[in-house]
């Protein structure tokens, strides 16, 4: 009996076994969200994302509102990466008997707040009580212009690679939180709706990193902007870190990539050793920023920032299927995936 | 801080808090599945159902193929109860490190087999590894004729109450399995596609009960038949037992119901004490049969069986909002919900 060494192997097995060749399925297993032709000329996006206590959040670190916000943000971010508009959400929650109903209410308050300002109606779900870890599965259904969804598979050699915001901020926030869990007390509710770390132009401070981690802002408007102006040849969201997710995008497109370390976005006035920041920027997960590619001719059309969120060119798509990193020293080396992989053997 | 004594109280709280008044949501939290008007004249059904190790299945009792089959059957049954046609499924699975990849493959084989013959494409999902119990969340998206979905809320006083198949068979199967776990060895794969306990006209035997429990057949064709011929005023599936689910249907419709104990379908030649069977028929869960109401004038149009599945009239909807049971002795008493409620205090 064969077994799976990595999550990618498992996903590949699934892709072959599932009815993915179905003509109604425009994109399925292996992209950010499924693109489904329910009827001719009408496409629906569908995405499921789990949030598991001890894996995606810790009851001791993450306030329940943040858990609710992040659970939904994860799925919304995938819809954003397709250039879609989210419409409806289903919430399945297996609540640990260690958590009380006050926790559950705060969880929903955090989730509803983000749903409401994203135009998403929570329309159902499932509930259960479990003795062990709390588990949430969040499903979002949305719309996208038929035939226009931003896929992972459209990158071509020569395309420029961009990221939005400051990947690494969430990992930094988590580190701060682990050192001083009491910091979360300032974030029992989202600091201010519609602000986010990436919109801050003033010196970056720990508060921004904590906000990026606890209340990440899905880049819905940016995704729609990229689709509308046909700027992106491929796109996905960064949930497991640039090094892991860029590899997935490259694989889906049958290409390689080279990333310039000195182009990785670095927040202004960050008080952190540069190498510490770069490690997080490359490998830190849960940023929910967008990673997208732009054909050479369209690069001049990409704004430096979109609604206050910086858009930074970090490298280029290559023909060779390798993933390379050009260091600060100008030397090129292999860019190894350093993000989280649920199936990797420890 | 108020807390929830029952699952219904929690669902009511959710319904008020969620954006359920949204005009795009034709039915939401509290019905079998959400009915969503994605665009004018086009409605989509969406349903999420969890299967949790130790709650919905036991690794020691349920073969992985059965776990996969049942995980999907739960959601398909909800689509069936709305009279809809399932199209796509998402599978989120947090796999216990106690289970190996061979378990995972068999799980998917069971799921794919049912998906394939139900016309459902598995289009995505999420995977994670957890140290404790395996949890699955299965989401199904489907279609329904606009404005025609069978809701829980349409029952009117005087309507006849029907059930399909033999509710109680699954609970009996579970009992047999708990007594002799080795019985499941005969069911490592579904005995024969497209057969089901309820189609059996010969004497009912333990094998049928085991099959009803391990490989329940969602009543998709029946649901569509009821919708097409406008037979049902209300419908839902029986997942938590007639006594619990009829209460939900009655509450959604603002009515009551009276059930005749002697009308409950009883398999032919069942070797079981009558009282034991009736307890299971009323309170046993996981049958995934349909419970539906039919207005007086349409009762003559309801066939005795549909595609081999018996349709049995078991009682009547009443104006008084109470739930009553007329016993074998002709005496009427309160019908108390005896099904599983995840939030009920033990």
Instruction: Find all residues with CB under 8 Å of A211, minimum gap 6, and list them.
Output: A173, A187, A190, A191, A195, A196, A197
Which comes out higher in pLDDT, residue A25 or B90?
A: B90
**Shortest Cα distance from A186 to chain B (angstroms)?**
22
Q: B152-334: same fold as B7-144?
A: no
pLDDT for the residue numbered B165 = 93
Question: Considering chain A, what is the average pLDDT of its residues?
Answer: 87
Could you tell me if A137 and B137 are in contact, meaning their C-beta atoms sit under 8 angstroms apart? yes
**Of A1, A17, A91, which has the smallest distance from its Cβ to B102's Cβ?**
A1
| Rounded-to-integer distance, Cα A190 and Cα A215, Å | 6
B41: left (phi over 0), alpha (psi -120 to 50) or beta: left
Question: Considering chain B, what is the average pLDDT of its residues?
Answer: 87
Inter-CA distances, B170 with A158, B77, B124, B206, B287, Å: 60, 14, 30, 11, 5
Q: Is the pLDDT of residue A197 over 60?
A: no
Instruction: Find all residues with CB under 8 Å of B73, minimum gap 6, and list them.
Output: B114, B215, B216, B217, B218, B288
Q: Is the pLDDT of residue A194 over 50?
A: no
Instruction: Find all residues with CB under 8 Å of B332, minimum gap 6, and list them.
Output: B258, B324, B325, B326
User: So where are chain A's domains?
Assistant: 7-144, 160-334
| Rounded-to-integer distance, Cα B259 and Cα B313, Å | 9
Which comes out higher in pLDDT, residue A345 or B59?
A: B59
pLDDT for the residue numbered A202 = 60
β pairing state of B85-96 and B160-164: unpaired
| Rounded-to-integer distance, Cα A97 and Cα B4, Å | 13
Which range is least confidently modeled, A33-47, A185-199, A287-301, B52-66?
A: A185-199
CB-CB under 8 Å, A123 with B36: yes
**Which residues of A fall within a CB distance of 8 Å from B129?**
55, 342-343
**Of A46, A56, A94, which has the smallest distance from its Cβ to B123's Cβ?**
A46
Average pLDDT over residues B202-231: 90
Name the CATH topology of B7-144: 60s Ribosomal Protein L30; Chain: A; (3.30.1330)
* pLDDT tier at B32, thresholds 50, 70, 90: confident
Summarised one tens digit per residue, pLDDT across range B140-168 is 999 999 999 999 999 999 999 999 999 99
A326: exposed, middle or buried (C-beta count within 10 Å: 0-12, 13-18, 19+)? Answer: middle
Q: Is the pLDDT of residue B191 over 80?
A: no
Q: Is the pLDDT of residue A337 over 90?
A: no
The CA radius of gyration of chain A, in Å to the nearest whole number, is 19
Summarised one tens digit per residue, pLDDT across range B33-44 is 888 888 778 889
Give me the residues of A, 197-256, that contact B with CB < 8 A. none
β pairing state of B85-96 and A135-144: unpaired
CB-CB under 8 Å, B129 with A88: no
Yes or no: is domain B152-334 CATH 3.30.450.20? no
**Shortest Cα distance from B313 to chain A (angstroms)?**
29
Instruction: Find all residues with CB under 8 Å of A328, minimum gap 6, and list them.
Output: A261, A262, A274
- A–B CB contacts, 8 A cutoff, strictly below: 226
CB-CB under 8 Å, B14 with A128: no
Summarised one tens digit per residue, pLDDT across range A297-318 is 999 999 999 998 999 999 999 9
Which range is least confidently modeled, B38-47, B268-277, B325-334?
A: B268-277
**Which residues of A fall within a CB distance of 8 Å from B40?**
none
Average pLDDT over residues B314-343: 86
Specify the CATH number for A160-334; select among 3.40.50.1950, 3.90.650.10, 3.40.50.300, 3.40.1190.20: 3.90.650.10
DSSP class of A135: E
**Shortest Cα distance from B29 to chain A (angstroms)?**
4
Average pLDDT over residues B81-101: 93
Three-state SS at A51 = strand
pLDDT for the residue numbered B342 = 47
* pLDDT tier at B17, thresholds 50, 70, 90: low
Which chain B residue has the Cα nearest residue A32?
A: B124
pTM to 2 decimal places: 0.87
**Of B11, B17, B342, which has the smallest distance from its Cβ to A108's Cβ?**
B17
Helix pair A206-214, A169-179: axis angle to 10 deg: 100
**Of A44, A120, A137, which has the smallest distance from its Cβ to B38's Cβ?**
A44
CB-CB under 8 Å, A44 with B141: yes
Which chain A residue has the Cα nearest residue B26?
A: A123
CB-CB under 8 Å, A116 with B18: no
| Rounded-to-integer distance, Cα A346 and Cα B92, Å | 22
State the best of A16, A106, A126 to mutate against chain B, taking most chain B CBs within 10 Å. Answer: A126
Which comes out higher in pLDDT, residue A208 or B268?
A: A208
CB-CB under 8 Å, A343 with B127: yes
Which range is least confidently modeled, A29-33, B51-55, B117-121, B161-165?
A: A29-33
Average pLDDT over residues A188-202: 59
β pairing state of B160-164 and B121-130: unpaired
Give me the residues of A, 121-150, that contact B with CB < 8 A. 121-133, 135, 137, 139, 141, 143
Paired tokens of A53: 């206590």
**Of A123, A127, A343, which has the smallest distance from its Cβ to B34's Cβ?**
A123
């Amino acid at each position: 009996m064969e077994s799976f060494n990595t999550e990618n192997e498992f996903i590949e097995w699934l892709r072959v076994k599932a009815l993915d060749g179905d003509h109604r399925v425009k994109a399925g297993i292996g992209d950010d969200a499924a693109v489904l032709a329910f009827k001719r000329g009408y496409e629906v996006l569908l995405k499921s994302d789990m949030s598991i206590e001890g894996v995606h959040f810790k009851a001791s670190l993450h306030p329940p509102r943040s858990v609710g916000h992040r659970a939904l943000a994860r799925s919304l971010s995938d819809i954003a990466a397709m250039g879609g508009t989210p419409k409806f959400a289903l919430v399945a929650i297996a609540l640990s008997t260690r958590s009380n109903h006050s926790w559950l209410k705060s969880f929903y308050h955090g989730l509803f707040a983000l749903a409401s300002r994203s135009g998403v109606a929570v329309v159902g779900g499932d509930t259960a009580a479990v003795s062990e870890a709390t588990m949430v599965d969040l499903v979002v259904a949305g719309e996208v212009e038929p035939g226009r969804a931003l896929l992972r598979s459209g990158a071509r050699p020569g395309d420029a690679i961009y990221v939005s915001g400051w990947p690494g901020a969430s990992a930094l926030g988590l580190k701060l939180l682990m050192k001083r869990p009491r910091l979360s007390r300032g974030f029992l509710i989202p600091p201010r709706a519609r602000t986010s770390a990436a919109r801050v132009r003033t010196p970056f401070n720990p508060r921004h990193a904590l906000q990026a981690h606890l209340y990440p802002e899905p880049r819905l408007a940016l995704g729609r902007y990229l689709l509308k102006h046909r700027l992106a040849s491929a796109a996905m969201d960064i949930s497991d870190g640039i090094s892991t997710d860029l590899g997935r995008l490259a694989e889906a497109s049958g290409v390689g990539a080279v990333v310039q370390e000195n182009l990785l976005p670095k927040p202004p006035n960050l008080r952190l050793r540069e190498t510490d920041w770069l490690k997080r920027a490359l490998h830190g997960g849960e940023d929910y920023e967008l990673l997208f590619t732009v054909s050479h001719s369209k690069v001049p059309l990409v704004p430096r920032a979109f609604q206050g969120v910086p858009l930074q060119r970090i490298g280029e798509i290559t023909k060779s299927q390798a993933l390379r990193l050009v260091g600060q020293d100008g030397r090129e080396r292999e860019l190894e995936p350093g993000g989280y992989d649920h199936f990797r053997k420890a």
